[in-house]
Chains A and B, each alone.
Chain A
Amino acid sequence: MARKQVDLLQGTLDLLVLKSLALGPLHGLGVSNRIAQITKGTFNVKPGSLFPALHRMEEAGWLQSSWGESENNRRAKYYRLTAAGRRQLDAETQDWQRISLAITTALKAT
C-alpha cells in the first residue's frame, strides 16, 4: 500500500466496523478487508485490535455472530448488525459528521 496509513482515532474503529457490516454479514478477515477497501487503504485494521473490538461490540449487543462457510468452503465466524447496532451506527455517524464539520471549519478559519 503506497498511501500512508493513519492510526485509528479512539472510537472510530467501532464506527468503521459498524459501517462495514451495514452492507451485510462478514467474517473477521472480511471486515478488515472491507475497511481497507472503503477507506481506500488508509486504515489497515490488525487482528490484535479487530477481534477484541468485535467481541466487545457483540457483548454490547450491537453485533451477532454465527458460524458459516466462507467463499472457499472454510468454516468462519460471521458477524452481522443487530437492530441496536444499526441505531448505534446512525448515532455514531451523526456524531462523526458534527465533529468532522467542526474540525474542518476550525482548520479553514484564518
Chain B
Amino acid sequence: MPLIPRLTSLWRNLFHKDRVDQESSEEIQAYLDLLTEAKLRQGMSPQEARRDALLELGGVEQVEERVREIRMGRFIETVWRDARTGVRALVHSPVFTVVTVLLLALGIGANTAIFSVVNGLLLRPLPYPESEQIVDVWHTPPQQSFPGLDRFTVSPANYLDWKAQSTAFEQMAVYTDTRLSLSTSNDPLSLIGAVVSSEFFSVLRSNAMQGRTFTPDEERPGRDQVVVIGHGLWQRAFGANANIIGQTLTLNSRSFTVVGIMPAGFEFPREAELWIPLAWDDNERQVRSDHNYLVIARLKHNVSAEQAQAEMSTISSRLEQQYPEANKGWGAVVIPLREDLVGDVRLALLVLFCAVGFVLLIACANVANLMLARGANRKREIAVRIALGAGRARLVRQLLTESVLLAVTGGLLGLLLAVLANRMLVQLGSLPNSGDIGIDTWVLGFTLSVSFAAGILIGIVPALQFTRTSISETLKQGSGRTGGSPIKQHTRKALVISEVALSLVLLIGAGLMIRSFWKLQNVDPGFDTRNALTMSVVLTWIRYPEPHQRLAFVERAMEQIRAVPGVVSVGTTTKIPLTGGGSTQPFSVEGRSTAAIAEQPMAQTRYISPDYFRAIGIPLRQGRFFSDQDRDNSVPVVIISEAMARRFWPGENAVGKRLTPSFHLEQGAREIVGVVSDVKSSGLDADASAMMYLPYKQAPLPFISFVVRTASNPESLIQPVSKAIYSIDKEQALTNVQTLDQVLSKSLSGRRFNMTLLLTFAGVALMLAAVGVYGVMNYTVTLRRRELGIRMALGAEKMDVLRLVLGQGLTLTLIGVGAGLISAYALTRLMASLLYGVTATDYLTFGSVSVVLIAVGLAASYIPARRATKVNPTIALRAE
C-alpha cells in the first residue's frame, strides 16, 4: 500500500475510531440481514431464519473484535487504551502501586547507578579521537629481579631506540608525571603536572582550546620554558582569563611562558593540570638503566595491538643483544590505553554489576508475587472480560502493559535515585576518571530497556496464569474469596525460593569481602600509624642544585619542626610506605660473583634521616640505627629489612656484611649496620619487599617526606608544622599533607568501596527476600484459614499450628539456601582475585551466612505463624 493511503488509514483508525467501528458493525449487521432474507426465501420461519443466521455468524461481538484487531493502527490504539486502563487499575490500588514502584525504583536505580559507572569506565570511548588506537608501551622487567611485576617504566635511551626502530605506530610519545609548585602571592600551589615530549598531544589527538601545544623545537634544553595549562586550573587560578597566554608563571622557581590552554575534560595523565616540555640533554638521552618514563603511542590504522606487540618484542630482543649490560631480561609490552587505565577495577565493577542485577531480580520476584496475590482479586474481572469476547492474547497484552507501566514508572524514579547514588559513589570511590561517570543517552537507554524487561518479567507469569482460568468456575464462585490454585502457589513458592537463593549468593559475596577486609585491617603495616603526620616536598633544582643545599634545607626544616610544641620526633624518608611507587635499585653483595647490572638482584631503596625509624615506629631487630655521624665523609653504611636479610643471608648474621647499591658505585661497598623489621611498602595485601635504607646525608635527594610523631591528635599540628617548613622557603610547596592513619585508610579505599557497595546490595537483597518469605507465608495462612480452623476445632494446639506454618516457611528457606549455596559455590570463585586471606569457598562464610538467612526466613514466617494461631475456629468456618 502506498504511503499516503496508509497514513490516512492509520489516521482514520486512530482518531476516527468510533466511525470506523460503527461502519464495521453496520457491515456485519447488513450481512446478517441479507443472510436472514436468504434463509426466509428458503422457506424458514422468521424466528428460525434469524436464529440460524446468528448461529452461522458466530457472535457479532467476536467478529467485530476480530475485524478491529485487523485494522491497522490497532496495535498502537490498543497499547494506548491498555495503558489508560492500566493507569486506572493502578490508581485503584494505591498501596500496591506505591510499594511496587518503590521496589522497582530501588532495583532499577541501583542498576542504573552501577551501569553508569561501568559505562563511564569500561564502555564509553575515552575522550580522545579514535582512542582505541592509543596504547601504552611498557618495559617488562627481568623476572628474577622483579618477581610478579609485569610492567615497568622506560629508560630514555630505550625509548629513543623504540621510537626510531618501530613501524607499527603513527606516533610515539614519552612523558612522566611530576609535582610542580606554582608560586602565587600566598602559599605556593602544589599541582600535578606532566613533562611531555612534543608528540604527546598528537598521540592523544588533542589540541589546545586556545593557543598551541609544544613544537619539537621546545624539546631542546633552554627552549623548554613554556607551559600548557588545564581548563580547570585556568578557571580556578586565573579567573578564565584568555590573556594568560603569553604571560609567565613561576613553576618550581623557574619561569615558564603560557602557550596554550587545554579544553575542559582533558586530563591526561590522571589529574594533570599543567604540561611542560620534556627536554633531555645529550647525557640524559644516553641513559639506559634508569627507568623513569611512561610511553604512549598511536597505532597505525591497519596495525593491531598484537602486531605492534610482535614488533616491539623483536626490537627488545635486539636491544638486549646490543646492550646486554643494561637490557638483559628487559622486554616490552603493548597494552591498550583503556585496559591500562581501568584494568584494575574491571573485575570489581563486573562483580558489583552482577550484584545489582541480582537485587533487581529479587525485587522483580517480589513484585511478581505481589501481582499474583493481587491477581486473585482480579480473577473475576478477567473472567468477565473473557466471557465478553476478549482474546487471551489481548488480555495478556493488557496485563503486560500494566506491569510495564509500573516498571517504567519505577525506572524513572530509579533514574533519580541513580543520580543521587552516583554522587555518593564518586565521593566514596577511588575510581579512575570519575569525571566520566554520569547519566548519558546510553545510561538512559539502559534504564529504559531494563525497565521494559523488568516489566515483562514481573507481568508474564501472572498474565499467563490468570488468563488460563476457567471462566465458568470463576464466575460461579461468586464473590467468595477465591483460593489460589495449587499451580499458582507453586509459582509463588518458586519465586520466593529463588529470592532466597539469590540473596544468599549476594550475602556470601559480601561476607567474603568483609572477611578479606577484616583480615587486611589486622595486617600489621610494620609501622605505627597512630599520632603521626606526614608531608612531602620536592626541592626544586633551580634553588637547590647542590647536595649541601638540600642537606641544609632538611636540617633546618627538622629543627623548626622539632621546635613546634606537641612534636615528639621527626624523621625524613624518600617515600612514605603504602603510598605506592618508590625507587628500586640493583645491588651486588661483596664476596659473591658480580653479575651484569641487568641480572643483579633488586631491592627497594629509601634515603632516611637517623630519626626516621623512631618517628615512624619501625623497630630495630639487630645492629643499630643511623646516627648523625653517618655522613658523606664517613664509612658508607646501609640498614636492611628482615625480608632482605632472610632472602640474601639466610641463616647468617647480615650485620657486618657489605653490599654495593648500583646507583652509588662511586662510594663503594656499604657496611650493613642494622636490620629493621619489615614494612608493607606497596600495600597491606602485598608481601613485604626486600628494602634497603641509606642515610640521606650520604645521598641527599630532592624528594623529601617528613614523618612527624606527635604527642596527641596529629591533625591539630598540620598548620604549625606546615608553617615551620614554609618559614624556611615559601616557594617549596608541601604535598600529601596527611596523618599516617589517613595513609593507611586510603590504601584500603578501593576495597572499602567494593565492600561497602556489595554489603549494601546484599543487605537490600536480604530485606527483600525476608519481605518475600513473609508475603508468601502470610498469604498461605490466609488461604488456609478454614483448614487451620478445622484443625483447631479438632483439638490442634497453638504450638502445632505455629510449628506447621513455621515448618512450611523453613522448608522454603532451606530449599532456597540449598540452591543458593550451590550457585555461590560456582560463582564466588570468579571473584577470587578480589579476596585476601580467605578462599572463595570459605566454609565459615558459607556457613554463617546460611545461618543468618535461615534465621531471617524463620523470623519472616513467625508473624504469619502467630497470626495463624489466633484463628478463631468458629469464625473461620463460618466465613466461607
List the interface of chain A (C-beta within 8 A of B): 27-29, 46-48, 51-52, 55-56, 59-61, 70, 72, 74-77, 84
A54 CB to closest chain B CB (Å) equals 8
Instruction: Evaluate whether A48 and B58 lie within 8 angstroms (CB atoms) in the complex, with A55-B67, A60-B1 already known.
Output: yes
How far does the alpha carbon of A61 sit from the alpha carbon of B27 in the complex, in Å?
Answer: 19
- Whether B27 lies near A77 (C-beta < 8 A) is yes
Per the 8 Å Cβ criterion, residues 56-72 of B in contact with A are 56-59, 62-63, 66-67, 69-72
Question: Closest CB-CB distance, B58 to chain A, in whole Å?
Answer: 5
Q: How far is the CA of A90 from the CA of B2 in the complex (A)?
A: 19
Q: Which residue of B lies closest to A62 (CB)?
A: B1
Q: Which residues of the other chain, B, contact A56 by a CB distance below 8 angstroms?
A: 70
The answer on a CB contact under 8 Å between A47 and B57 is: yes
Max count, chain B CB within 10 A of own CB: residue among A47, A51, A59, A74: A47
| Chain A: CB-nearest residue to B57 | A47
Structural contact, A48 and B66, CB atoms closer than 8 A: yes
On whether the beta carbons of B58 and A59 are closer than 8 Å, the reply is no
| Additional 4 contacts, C-beta under 8 A, given A51-B28, A51-B63, A51-B67 | A28-B28, A29-B38, A46-B58, A59-B9
Which residues of A are found within 8 Å of B37, using beta-carbon distances?
72, 74
Q: Are A51 and B35 within 8 A (Cβ)?
A: no
Bound CA span A81–B30, Å: 21
5 residue pairs, one from A and one from B, having the closest CB atoms: A61-B1, A77-B27, A76-B30, A29-B34, A55-B70
| Option from A27, A47, A61, A74 in Cβ contact (under 8 Å) with B5 | A61
Neighbouring B residues of A51 by C-beta, 8 Å: 24, 27-28, 31, 63, 66-67
Interface-central residue, B26, B28, B70, B71, by most chain A CB under 10 Å:
B70
CB distance from B855 to the nearest CB of A (A): 59
Q: Is B33 an interface residue (CB 8 A)?
A: yes
Q: Within 8 Å CB of B67, what residues of A?
A: 51-52, 55
Choice from B9, B35, B63, B72 contacting A29 with Cβ under 8 Å:
B35
Are A29 and B31 closer than 8 Å at their CB atoms? yes
Q: Are B34 and A70 in contact (CB under 8 A)?
A: yes
- Contact mask for chain B residues 10-47; partner A; CB cutoff 8 A; 1 contact, 0 none: 00000000000001101110110111011000000000
Which of B6, B26, B69 is within 8 Å of A52, CB to CB? Answer: B69
Chain B residues contacting A77 (CB-CB under 8 Å) are: 23, 26-27, 30
A43 and B60 CA atoms in complex are apart in Å by: 22
Minimum C-beta distance from A30 to chain B (A): 8
- Min distance, Cβ B840 to any Cβ of chain A, angstroms: 56
When the two chains form their complex, are residues A28 and B69 in contact, meaning their CB atoms are under 8 A apart?
Answer: no
Chain A residues contacting B69 (CB-CB under 8 Å) are: 52
Nearest to B27 among chain A residues (CB) is A77
In the complex, what residues of B have CB within 8 A of residue A46's CB? 56-58
Q: How far is the CA of A27 from the CA of B447 in the complex (A)?
A: 51
Instruction: Give the residue of B2, B23, B63, B71 whose beta carbon is less than 8 angstroms from that of A61.
Output: B2
Nearest CB of A to B28, in Å:
7
20 contacts between A and B (CB under 8 A): A29-B31, A29-B35, A47-B28, A48-B57, A51-B63, A55-B24, A55-B70, A55-B71, A56-B70, A59-B72, A60-B1, A61-B1, A61-B2, A61-B5, A74-B30, A74-B33, A76-B30, A77-B23, A77-B30, A84-B1
Q: Which one of A60, A76, A84 has the greatest number of beta carbons of chain B within 10 Å?
A: A76
The CA of A59 and the CA of B75, in the complex, are separated in Å by: 14
| Among B34, B63, B72, contact of A48 (Cβ-Cβ < 8 Å) | B63
Cross-chain contact of A28 among B1, B27, B62 (Cβ < 8 A)? B27
Contact of B31 among A27, A55, A59, A84 (CB under 8 A): A27
Output the least CB separation between B42 and chain A (Å).
13
- Chain B 598-618: CB-based contact to A (< 8 A → 1; otherwise 0): 000000000000000000000
CB contacts (< 8 Å) of B33 on chain A: these are 74
Alpha-carbon separation in the docked complex, A76 to B38 (Å): 14
Q: Which residues of B contact A55 (CB under 8 A)?
A: 24, 67, 70-71
Contact B2 A27 (CB under 8 A): no
Nearest-neighbor residue (CB-CB) of A47 within chain B: B57
Query: Which residues in A have their C-beta under 8 angstroms from that of B38?
Result: 29
| Interfacial chain B residues near A29, Cβ < 8 Å | 31, 34-35, 38
CB-based contact B5/A52 at 8 Å: no
A residues within 8 A CB of B24? 51, 55
Interface 1/0 per residue, B710-737 and A, CB below 8 Å: 0000000000000000000000000000
The answer for the CA separation of A97 and B515 in the assembled complex, in Å, is 76
Contacts of A59 in B (CB 8 A): 1, 9, 70-72
Given A59-B9, A61-B2: A27 and B28 interface contact (C-beta under 8 Å):
no
